[in-house]
Structure 1
């Protein structure tokens, strides 16, 4: 794919301008760039030719101030050993160019800050998601399936939250697999959220994994960011696995994005009466019965891998007992 070239500094500069969001940069600016814009002078020259009240309201001084802020953001990232890739860089993962939100609308991240092994992006991902309060069998299931998928060569993608997200990352690490965490905050260690998983974040990086974020150094975690990053977990992955969830809750953001993008959705199927009646398993049951989620049991890894790799999943059934009964 041949893309117009906006340098990282210019992309971050544009993000600092009032009224200029990611969609404007991608669809109204990037789409009409005919030659490289890599310096402040390039941007100032280009801006003078833009038409429309939104663009004309932004002065050269506004752009210069935005560029000063952008340079500080880049400098802080360098100081923290955090890398940057944008939509216009070759390293940008192709799968994210088709990232959709819950309603099926394209909603790609314009910029990604990263810490760790960027080559993890070349490994097909499986999003492992669920409640922050799993049952003991939920913890067991999350670690088991994540480990098994990791052994099959998948990148386990989650969000570093306590509970099911943690089981995804830990399950992959236990088998020396690759795992990626999408965060809703800056990637400096002081900003990592939740704090109780700071050491897990460091383990991920130390073991050839990756931390990703749309947010610059020093950005704290907010509710909007937590919701927004859910689409990215689904977007970076070939399929999504729900470990445990209630009928409502944050898990459903990534679930809906998965369904909207027509990717395989799996939900762990439990057999233990305690689990079946638990509030945090009712979402699994609902997804299987009403949303077309594929039930996954402990003996179903090979079938699930076949589905993810392109086999017609309608021909695949799993009838043997589950470990989680």
Structure 2
């Protein structure tokens, strides 16, 4: 087996190559950080060199497809490069032109998004076609962020009259009683991620205006009891921390013309003692209803900074070397 694998790619458009490289070569740095493949450029030729055939093919596939995307008129960013690497790593046969050009989702004047994994595409399609969708999986997969994006889009298009964002306020090791302020101020830190997602979609002043007029409501789950929510886009976040009774209460709040998305991670339940998670139970209760869709995310869908990938690989390499050193010492 050779120590290094090499590959040369010939391109025909200098301007498109410069766009492919990105400002100060940022895009190439992202690919190198992800694959550990060395990338050298001379004119219209790019030479790749790496220790892994698989990573070399990933880098080549990414460069060739991004180049074709740029030639078709799409302007890429380093974030697009990370998304491309993630997509192609999971599905080497994926067509980036379909993903980036045909699946752009316009949220508002401030924000457009592109699904960054096959699961995210499935999730967005499910929300588009179903009135009740569950997004289940680890943190960082975009479950809540994408749900808020679709909700804002519906509000901007006036297909719903308001957005309701709810979260259970569970004491995960901290006591709410020791926090300053009234009950709303006490639970506000638990709702902060929802505010952050909103501010990423809309101007700060617009968010404040919509909060004041009730077009957007961010509230603890307990505040949903006894209400019927018509023509609303309702999101329940951190649903793994609902009890079965709370989950039933939330799901029966849906009124006419409403859509609901429930998100959570069943491996991060903070309910006290032996309490059953409403999210875990509802997967069994609602399993036979065709109009409801469950979309499951996994670790491969986690959207991470490219540096995190390098850190993980560095730790893996360190652990392998430590195990190898221990074996040699035992011999």
Normalising by structure 1, we get a TM-score of: 0.29
Normalising by structure 2, we get a TM-score of: 0.29
Larger Rg over CA atoms: 2
